[in-house]
Structure 1
Amino acid sequence: MSDTQTLIDNRPPSVANLFLERVEATPEAEAYRYPVPSSSGQGPDEWRSLTWKQASDRVFGIAAGLVSLGVAPEERVALAAATRVEWILADLGILCAGAATTTVYPSTNADESAFILSDSDSKVLIAEDASQVAKALEKKAELPSLTHIVVIDPEGVETGDTVLTLAELEQRGTALLEKSPEVVRERVSAITKDQLATLIYTSGTTGRPKGVRLPHDCWAYMAKAISATGLVTTEDVQYLWLPLAHVFGKVLLSSQVETGHVTAVDGRVDRIIENLPVVRPTYMAAVPRIFEKVYNGVAAKARAGGGAKYKIFQWAAGVAREYGKVTQENYRRTGNATAPFGLSLKHEVADLLVYKKIREAFGGNLRACVSGSAALAPEIGYFFSGAGVHILEGYGLTESSAASFVNPGEAYRTGTVGKPLPGTEVRIADDGEILLRGPGIMQGYHNLPDKTAEVLEEDGWFHTGDIGELSTDGYLRITDRKKDLIKTSGGKYVAPAEIEGQFKAICPYVSNILVHGASRNFCTALIALDEPALMGWAAENGLAGKSYAEVVAHPETVTMVDGYVQRLNEGLQRWQTVKKFRLLPRDLDVEHGEITPSLKLKRPVVEREYAHLIEEMYAGSREA
């Protein structure tokens, strides 16, 4: 048995155990950085730090505070807050109390929040602010199990017997620890690996979300398996902005506790560009939409600089893609990421003119990014690869604790999600569906045994619902969601995500695109345009002063987008080509329920919302 496998097999039962080990091993090392408004109220935020010992003091206070409220092992404590250091401390406190965290996106409306709190039978809610508290109080009559609400930012909240601040919870915990110093350690030592640790509700595209039951062992396994890949070291600085209510953000917390590196945490997406040069991370995780926005932003900036600058950017982008492809292929064949002399020379020039500035925008210290949650368009991946921003795509689901596959460092291959984590098994079913088995797989869906039986076989194989291909040396390529595959009326199968990804790499103005064509005789598309990029184009093309909606509706805009659609079609099979498209009057967003909080497209919702535009595109056509 390998040392790696021994490390994984001998894992402790929970991340709570790992946390205690981490605090004991490196108590004075920096654990977390977090922003606070500057003392003057002017200028940029100030970043402060917590050592592992300081973090543990607060975690123990929260854990003991929950015990004082009567929270028993495995009972649920809901957490409704944005990504911030208090989210992490609260989650660790819940785990160290032997309880289980129910994650709730702060953007979730009152009805769905109430459903999650009720279905999970949550006893305590830790809420970020007055708006989150109000949602729970509005539905209090539907939540008989909810005994207490704890608020992180108490401004505007009336506290009392059942509503208290996080500071008050910690004070209660400190008082209990003075009487019973071992109460938290006793709770941690009693945790078993099969005990429920987390309930994460999937963002259902239709119907109610399903609660995914992830026991303590899932997170302990993930912590050890990610550490075993060698992708993260104790010297790393992680920039964490992903929503922690999502499994992708949550798994990063487990691996950090095991490795012991620094995490700078700030969930404000509008501060990413501002924060990166300050934090100067060595790695960060993101979803493809972030890389698409960076790429489109760089292209728009170059275009705004005039024709010459834009031509230089286009040339440099082409060089980056070629360089990324060649060096990855040479590494695969020889173990050296080399390129021919002529290409290397062009790459050096392009680096001085373009790539260096892109790396500086990421803080100048970035060793790698991990991308997950959805497919990254290969052309965008190759661009960043050539520019020296190495994007390691990974793959997993809420039901598999997020990280089932990841690209292996220097040996990464754009367009694949890499190899399985140590201890995770994979096989491809006869119909192409990816099946997974291993310690990261869920126990099942909460209160839904029939739904669990549909995807989880008795021998542990989990049906992902994704279609994929395995290379001879174990790299996985995702081709589409099984349920999203389109079969045209002519009997041809089309993978919409693949076409959508190609279009995002071609058109710098696209924000979201949905390809439609199921049971139709040709494919069509609904396209939403990125407002900042589009308005920059409008100002240069005689449309300055017009609103976003007016620009989208303008014939010149339609003609411009049509040019990119024709370029897309040149690289597709005849039955895949997009024959018609419509531009949407606004971008898709979470608020309208068209994309999930992790920025995935909700196809049924969008198709239902814009059914009139879809029917308009097929009006008069002969459906076979």
Structure 2
Amino acid sequence: MAYKREHMKYCTLSQMFNDAVVKFGDCRFQWWNSGPGATESNTYADVGIIVKDLCCGLMEMGIEKGDRVAIMSYNCPQWLWADYAILNAGGIVVPIYPSFSLREMSYIVNNSGAKILFVRDEGEVEKVLNTRDELISIQKVIIMDENCPLPDDEFFTRLSTVRENGRRYLRKYPYCYEKRWRSVEMWDKASIVYTSGTTGDPKGAVHTHQTFIAANNVDFRNFAFNEYEVNEDDVCLSFLPLSHTYERQCGQFVATHCGCTIAYCDNPSTLMRDIQIFRPSYFMSVPRIFERIYVALRDQASSTPEGKAAFDKAMEIGIKVIDYRSDENGFIDMGFDIDLAEGLPEELKKEYEWADQIIFSKVRQLLGDRFRISFSASASLPPDLCKAFLAMGIRVCEGYGLTETSNTVTLNNLRRLLPGSIGPAMWNVECKMAEDGELLFRGENIIQEYWNNPGATAEAFDEDGFFHTGDIGVFLADNYIKIVDRKKSIMVLDTGKNVPRAKVENGFSTSKYIEQICAIGDDRKYVAALIVPNFEYFIEYFKEQNIPFDESQVVYEGEGAEKIVVSVGEDFVKIPQLVELIDADIQAHNQNLENYESIKQYKILNRRFLESLDELTPTFKVKYRNVLKNFAEEINELYENQ
């Protein structure tokens, strides 16, 4: 049964949640893996009871309107319970990435003044124990996983205990829950979201119920503009960190309003497995994950040398089709009713029908029968990668937003999709460009302050209230926008030439051989790069070709089929076949760059850039300052003779 939708009304997140519990009571709300081959789920009514208990438990613990409560956990059903319980209590949610360092975690807790901290499991409990004396404002830590051992310490309690206390509190004060959540107002602070950033201490972007709801309204209408009505039959796959506004607002909040199911991926490394388990209708992702999805789909659809050759041929044909169907400015109609083979010249049509039958249809099957669309943000999606997905009949819509804008301020439209662009500005925001090309936005979904940081607030906004994004852009046809790079990521060579780092790096997004890259060039004579090979590919390649390497030096992370290679021996990256393939990849990409932009020197590394070493953000963007610090010796070698 499908409910007729109306546009998002302007109400608080608390009102939205409680309305959804009533409207979609028996519909599935949450869905997750509970063990090998097994899943469990909760309905909207189930979650409504849990959140009510938990909210009343927080009130019993003394949480008042405006108090800050932190959540430090990877994605799980309990994250949503805690989120809505805090919001319904009138509290301010402070998300903390569990991958943050002890110093970053302590800084956020103390800067926000959080009184209570939700954690999920032993890893987060250990972090708390290691920093307990520094967590000055925290009065109690709530452990959400019932299987996690409870320390013999009154500082810790279980979520089940808080729920039980909440039920008692509700029996004593029968109207406390409804009275509290109904007292929440639109301009009340809802969340302080700290930017992970690549430099300096995180800044706390203060979002109100108004900014989040305004963002929800935009995203819900974007679905409508793309002729897609999300409802309770749909499944949204959640795998990006809920600590980031992208997954939390575009995923969790929009799904709640529409009554659809949120399925929880165990972690990004299990993404393809979980896609096949939950068969999502849509999901949010970032370019780095789209690169992994592309590689995984390619490998699963072409497991033999003959299959790989067929895949490459099919992709060549598919890109021809996308280019043929694109207009003079590069726009293409990818509406849900479009058949890419329709209207093609006879020979190209036959070729595409072959490619679709042999390769692309199998690739789409891997995404499941429900899949409709995916969204890309957080960094620029390379146009070649976007075209590759479109060629396979997989719809990817690129948009743009920041923590401070509560996500979407621009988005492509399926009817006029322009690969390499972030689309036009949304109807509810104003966009202009500064003299240096920096994009500026003003609108009701944008924050008005950073927490306890008036200096940063003043720096971020101009006298007319426009927010400075820090991103350099250019306007294309029909007011579509292309991101050139982060303002701080444009490398300035000692010759005075400006080189967008993204332009150098994005050319390797579909590379078989290069997994990660960090371009270098600031105050240097030429551009150089640190290269991380696709270790998994080369391990398989070396074994197929009987090329020896020291397997004892291969270090893995994860277990079973989800293992990834973290590092290899020095011998591995010196094997001639690897060196030759990577060099050929780099020289081919250099042909697409100006001479001063091209990579003149590079170092092939024997380990990945790692989030655990603070070299990647939680959304997989390289933290350049930390990478340059950690690989200072290797970088100096690249410029010894400049």
> TM-score w.r.t. structure 1 length?
0.93
Report the Cα distance in structure 2 between the residues aligned to 1:208 and 1:493, rounded to whole angstroms.
Answer: 27
- Cα distance, 1:366 vs structure 2: 1.4
Report the Cα distance in structure 2 between the residues aligned to 1:420 and 1:56, rounded to whole angstroms.
Answer: 36
| 1:182 equivalent in structure 2 | 175
| 2:578 equivalent in structure 1 | 557
Equivalent residue for 2:621, pick from 596, 600, 616? 600
Cα deviation digits, residues 293-330 of structure 1 (max 9, x gap): 23233445677512x33221111111222223333438
Whether contact under 8 Å (1:17, 1:188) holds in the other structure is yes
Alignment of 1:44-63 (within 5 A): 44=37, 46-63=38-55
Cα deviation digits, residues 224-259 of structure 1 (max 9, x gap): 221112155114211111110111111121111222
| 1:40 equivalent in structure 2 | none
Whether contact under 8 Å (2:301, 2:359) holds in the other structure is no
Cα deviation digits, residues 212-234 of structure 1 (max 9, x gap): 11111111111222111215511
- Cα distance, 1:418 vs structure 2: 1.7
Whether contact under 8 Å (1:427, 1:436) holds in the other structure is yes
- Cα distance, 1:182 vs structure 2: 2.2
Change (3 A) 1:199 1:159: farther
Alignment of 1:529-568 (within 5 A): 529-547=533-551, 548-549=568-569, 550-568=571-589
Equivalent residue for 1:463, pick from 450, 463, 468? 468
Matched, 1:498 2:503: yes
Change (3 A) 1:303 1:543: farther
Whether contact under 8 Å (2:31, 2:41) holds in the other structure is yes
- Cα distance, 1:343 vs structure 2: 2.3
SS of residue matched to 1:136: helix
Change (3 A) 1:301 1:366: closer
Alignment of 1:181-200 (within 5 A): 181-200=174-193
- Cα distance, 1:610 vs structure 2: 1.5
Unaligned stretches of 5+ residues in structure 1 = 1-5, 38-42
Equivalent residue for 1:237, pick from 235, 238, 241? 235
Equivalent residue for 1:377, pick from 372, 382, 403? 382
Report the Cα distance in structure 2 between the residues aligned to 1:277 and 1:178, rounded to whole angstroms.
Answer: 44
Report the Cα distance in structure 2 between the residues aligned to 1:542 and 1:603, rounded to whole angstroms.
Answer: 37
Matched, 1:219 2:212: yes
SS of residue matched to 2:468: strand
Whether contact under 8 Å (1:277, 1:364) holds in the other structure is no
| 1:523 equivalent in structure 2 | 527
**Amino acid of the residue matched to residue 110 of structure 1?**
L
**Amino acid of the residue matched to residue 253 of structure 1?**
Q
- Cα distance, 1:69 vs structure 2: 0.4
| 2:61 equivalent in structure 1 | 69
- Cα distance, 1:87 vs structure 2: 0.5
Cα deviation digits, residues 362-386 of structure 1 (max 9, x gap): 2243111111111121111101101
Change (3 A) 1:52 1:142: same
| 2:325 equivalent in structure 1 | 327
Cα deviation digits, residues 408-466 of structure 1 (max 9, x gap): 23432221112333312211111110101111211322111111111123432100000
| 2:562 equivalent in structure 1 | none
| 1:34 equivalent in structure 2 | 32
Change (3 A) 1:7 1:317: closer
Report the Cα distance in structure 1 between the residues aligned to 2:371 and 2:145, rounded to whole angstroms.
Answer: 33
Equivalent residue for 1:421, pick from 417, 426, 433? 426
Whether contact under 8 Å (1:19, 1:257) holds in the other structure is yes
Report the Cα distance in structure 1 between the residues aligned to 2:539 and 2:242, rounded to whole angstroms.
Answer: 32
- Cα distance, 1:7 vs structure 2: 5.4
Whether contact under 8 Å (1:326, 1:339) holds in the other structure is no
Matched, 1:11 2:10: yes
| 1:22 equivalent in structure 2 | 20
Whether contact under 8 Å (2:70, 2:109) holds in the other structure is yes
SS of residue matched to 1:473: helix
Task: Quote the sequence identity (%).
Answer: 28
- Cα distance, 1:485 vs structure 2: 0.8
Equivalent residue for 1:586, pick from 581, 587, 607? 607
- Cα distance, 1:267 vs structure 2: 4.0
Cα deviation digits, residues 490-529 of structure 1 (max 9, x gap): 3222111122111223x21211111112222221111112
Mean alpha-carbon deviation: is it higher for 332-341 or for 405-414? 332-341
SS of residue matched to 1:126: strand
**Amino acid of the residue matched to residue 140 of structure 1?**
R
Change (3 A) 1:304 1:33: closer
- Cα distance, 1:36 vs structure 2: 1.1
Change (3 A) 1:345 1:562: same
> TM-score w.r.t. structure 2 length?
0.90
Cα deviation digits, residues 146-181 of structure 1 (max 9, x gap): 111110124222266442111111111111122222
Report the Cα distance in structure 2 between the residues aligned to 1:360 and 1:396, rounded to whole angstroms.
Answer: 31
Report the Cα distance in structure 2 between the residues aligned to 1:319 and 1:398, rounded to whole angstroms.
Answer: 39
| 1:3 equivalent in structure 2 | none
SS of residue matched to 1:585: coil
Whether contact under 8 Å (1:517, 1:523) holds in the other structure is yes
**Amino acid of the residue matched to residue 55 of structure 1?**
V
Whether contact under 8 Å (2:399, 2:422) holds in the other structure is yes
Alignment of 1:81-480 (within 5 A): 81-154=73-146, 155-158=148-151, 161-229=154-222, 230=224, 231=226, 233-234=230-231, 235-251=233-249, 252-300=251-299, 305-306=304-305, 308-329=306-327, 332=331, 340-341=344-345, 342-480=347-485
Report the Cα distance in structure 2 between the residues aligned to 1:130 and 1:224, rounded to whole angstroms.
Answer: 38
- Cα distance, 1:480 vs structure 2: 0.7
Unaligned stretches of 5+ residues in structure 2 = 1-5, 552-567
Report the Cα distance in structure 2 between the residues aligned to 1:542 and 1:580, rounded to whole angstroms.
Answer: 30
Report the Cα distance in structure 2 between the residues aligned to 1:92 and 1:442, rounded to whole angstroms.
Answer: 20
| 2:561 equivalent in structure 1 | none
Report the Cα distance in structure 2 between the residues aligned to 1:181 and 1:301, rounded to whole angstroms.
Answer: 56
**Amino acid of the residue matched to residue 546 of structure 1?**
D
Mean alpha-carbon deviation: is it higher for 281-290 or for 120-129? 281-290
Report the Cα distance in structure 1 between the residues aligned to 2:332 and 2:47, rounded to whole angstroms.
Answer: 46
Whether contact under 8 Å (2:94, 2:193) holds in the other structure is yes
Mean alpha-carbon deviation: is it higher for 211-220 or for 420-429? 420-429
Change (3 A) 1:390 1:302: closer
Whether contact under 8 Å (2:13, 2:213) holds in the other structure is yes
Change (3 A) 1:301 1:409: closer
Report the Cα distance in structure 1 between the residues aligned to 2:296 and 2:220, rounded to whole angstroms.
Answer: 34
Cα deviation digits, residues 108-165 of structure 1 (max 9, x gap): 2323212211111000011101221232233222223211111012422226644211
Report the Cα distance in structure 2 between the residues aligned to 1:129 and 1:19, rounded to whole angstroms.
Answer: 26
SS of residue matched to 1:409: coil
**Amino acid of the residue matched to residue 230 of structure 2?**
T
Change (3 A) 1:296 1:271: closer
Report the Cα distance in structure 1 between the residues aligned to 2:484 and 2:331, rounded to whole angstroms.
Answer: 21
Change (3 A) 1:328 1:30: farther
Instruction: Indicate the RMSD between aligned Cα atoms, in angstroms.
Output: 2.1
